[in-house]
Structures are given as C-alpha cells and as structure tokens.
Amino acid sequence: MWRNRNRTAITMAAVFFAVILSVLTNSLQDGVFDNLIKNVVSFYSGYIQVHKQGYWDEQILDNTFESSDQLEAQILQQNNVTAVAPRLESFALASSDSLTKGCMVIGINPEKENSITDLGNKVIKGEYLTENDKGVLLAEGLAKRLKLNLSDTLVLIGQGYHGAMAVGKYHIKGILKFGSPDLNDQSLYLSLQSAQELYSAENMLTSYVIGLENADILDPTAASIRSTLGENYEAMTWEEMMPEVIQHIRTDKGSMVIIQGVLYMLIGFGIIGTLLMMMVERKYEMGMLVAIGMKKIKLMQLLMIESILTVFSGCILGILASIPIVFYLYRYPIRFKGEMADVYEEFGFEAIFPTSTDPKIFLTQGMIVLILALVLSLYPIVKIARLNPVTAMKK
C-alpha cells in the first residue's frame, strides 16, 4: 500500500472526504426534521393527546371531560408512558390599554407540563408559574404585539363553559420564547386552576398530554391507550393531529432521495477516477508480473486485499473526522438571517439547520460508501482478468 504513498493517499482521501460529505448531508437532513418535530411536537402538542371522543373534530369547551385521578393513573400504567399533563385550552381576546389580539389560552399544571414540554426553559424574562398562580406567561411575539412587558396587566375576554361569560384580569409573570413562530405569536399560559375559574369549567379538561420514553413506538403506545380507556375517549398521536407536518417531511425526504442519489454518483466518480489513475500507473508493472509467470488470480487477490484495506482505512478515518464536525454543528447550528429566515418563519419553522448525532448515521453512511467503493474496486480486477502482458508493457 505504501510503496507508492501518493497514490494510496489520494485513494484514501477520495473515500475519506466522501464519507464526511455523506455523513454531513444525512446528519443535516435528519437534524432539520428532528428540530421541526421538536418545535411543533415536544414544545407544545406532546406526542400523544387524550381527549373526550369527538373533541378534535369540534374543539369547544362543551366537549371537555372531568379530571380524574383514576383516568390519569390508567394512562400512566401504560408501557412507554413517562408523564401525563392535564390541560384546559381555549381561545380569548387579550387586551392591553389600547390593543387587542386573539390568543390561545392554555391552562396547565406547571410541574407536570414542564416534565413533558420543558416549558420552564422557554421563560426568557420573569418567573415560571406555580400550581395556584394568578399570573400568566405570555409568548414573546404576543407581548410585542400588545406592547406589554413583565408586571403589566392584561385582560382576557372570551366564552366559557356552556356559554358562560369569561372575563379575567391578570398580571404578566413571565415572557416565553418558542422556536415555532406560530406558538410565539399567540400563546398564553395560566395555571390550570385559574383557567378553570376563567372559563367556569371547574375540574374540567380538554386534554391529557402524554410524554413518552421512546417516540419510535408511538403508534403501539397510542393503540394501547385507546384500548384501555374505551370508546368515550380518543387517543391521538401528533401525526394524526398535524398531518401537514408529516406531509412536509415526506415531501422533503422524497426530494432528498434525488439529492442523495446525485451525491453518491459524484462520490462514485471521485473514487473511480483514483482507480483509473492507479491502473494507468501500474499497467506496465502488472504486465511484467504476469509475463514472468505470476498467475492472474494471485494478482487479482493482491489488488482486492489492497483495495479493501485502502477503502476501509479511508472510511474509518472519514467517520472519525466527521464526528467532531457533526457535534459542533449540533451545538452551534447553522442559522439563517434576513429574507431567508423570514421565509422559514412564514411557514412556521425555526430558521436553523442543526445536525443529528444519531450513531446510525455514521455507521450507515460509512457502510454505504464502503460498499460503493468496494464495488467500484472490481474494475481493476476485471482489467487484470483481460490483461494482455505484451500490450501492457508497451510504452
């Protein structure tokens, strides 16, 4: 391998950079989709929600159900369920001195909500809610639209349970910032008790938000919850509640298949180029070896072992080199600014490109490049099988 170090180094470098490029491309793709799901799902909706049967088709307070410790315990007993957070959600008009805007009011149990959506870490000013708090948490975008800040007072006006009038006056205890622009422009959080008092819906809930240990077995977990709770309740996964997000991911993945195909084709051309160079440089040497009696099968075995060692070394070095790059971009993701950021935010997405650190990406892409390189390494074997020593030694 090192008799001609430049040639071996060039071949290894082709595989090395191919692995880095392949890993980085796939890591960015998975990272963007994971970030999208995190923004839309784990920041707000949760992976599974339990409602009264028919609530999702007609999301009104009259379709609420009564809070029950027994019902909550039944959900928590399911495999893969780690936490359950009760909510009372509705809409209202939020008013400051001279401005009014519609908003989404979410009544929560602060401790349980934080265990699922990590809401406490979204507070950028002020303090998080306590269980019987009379204050509110206001999303940053909504606060700017209403020109409100910490300790200011806002008034909520809406329609309560069974048509009752819902009016309340609250001080702003904290300001939240979400990755999703939609949530950032319309969310307002109350303690569950305050929300139930506001909407005259004592002990009533619109949903239980469920936290999972393993999101990969989402559908079986939802099916188990449905079976346990019976026909009076509906257990819906985030995919059922937000089919447009799934459609967006599938569309993007379809286009990424084409991009990956082009990427692998370019990688293939890079590797085959180094192999062609190797064959041209060694043609005389191979012809001479065959002419003095070396069997072609032995020469083919020698080249195959050399190719395997060269390609394998390039793959290992490429994987090792890609790890710090991927982890750096995971910690400090690519951020878009200006018009590009505005376009992403218009569609409700955070304008950042993080990477995914899933170990499968490194192993899978390393194996794909390894197999591709080994298949292309058959080219020198075929050339040796057809080698004419007299022709090969002509200069």
**Domains of the chain, residue spans:** 5-40+245-393, 54-230
DSSP string, 55-115: TTTS--GGG-EE--HHHHHHHHTSTTEEEEEEEEEEEEEEE-SS-EEEEEEEEE-HHHHHH
pLDDT at 347: 54
Question: How many Cβ atoms from other residues are within 10 Å of residue 350's Cβ?
Answer: 24
- Name every residue whose Cβ is closer than 8 Å to that of residue 69 and which is 6 or more positions away in sequence: none
pLDDT, position 209: 93
Query: What pairs with residue 336 in β-bridges?
Result: none
pLDDT at 343: 63
Which residues touch 107 (CB under 8 Å, ≥6 apart)? 87, 88, 89, 189, 190, 191, 192, 193, 194, 195, 196, 198
Q: Report yes or no: 374 and 353 within 8 Å, Cβ to Cβ.
A: no
pTM value? 0.69
Q: Tens digit of pLDDT per residue, the chain (395 long)?
A: 566 677 778 778 878 888 888 888 888 888 887 777 776 676 678 889 999 999 998 888 999 999 988 999 999 998 889 999 999 999 999 998 888 999 999 999 999 999 888 888 889 999 999 888 889 999 999 999 999 999 899 999 999 998 888 999 999 999 998 867 778 888 999 999 999 999 999 999 999 999 888 888 888 999 999 999 888 999 999 888 888 777 777 777 777 778 778 878 877 777 777 777 777 777 787 788 878 888 888 888 887 887 788 888 888 998 999 999 999 988 888 887 777 677 666 555 667 788 888 888 898 888 888 888 888 878 778 888 777 777 777 76
Tokens of 393: 């030694």
In angstroms, the CA 205 to CA 1 distance is: 70
Per the structure block, which two tokens stand in for 251?
A: 């569309």
Q: How far apart are the first and last CA of the chain?
A: 24
Task: Answer whether 88's CB lies under 8 Å from 192's CB.
Answer: yes
pLDDT at 143: 92
The reported pLDDT for the residue numbered 255 is 74
What is residue 167's predicted lDDT score, i.e. its pLDDT? 92
Angle between helices 378-385 and 359-376 (to 10 degrees): 10
Give helix 296-331 / helix 378-385 axis angle, nearest 10°. Answer: 170
**Predicted local confidence at residue 2, as pLDDT:** 62
Residues 3-12 as b or e (16 or more Cβ within 10 Å = b): eeeebbeebb
Residue type, 20: I
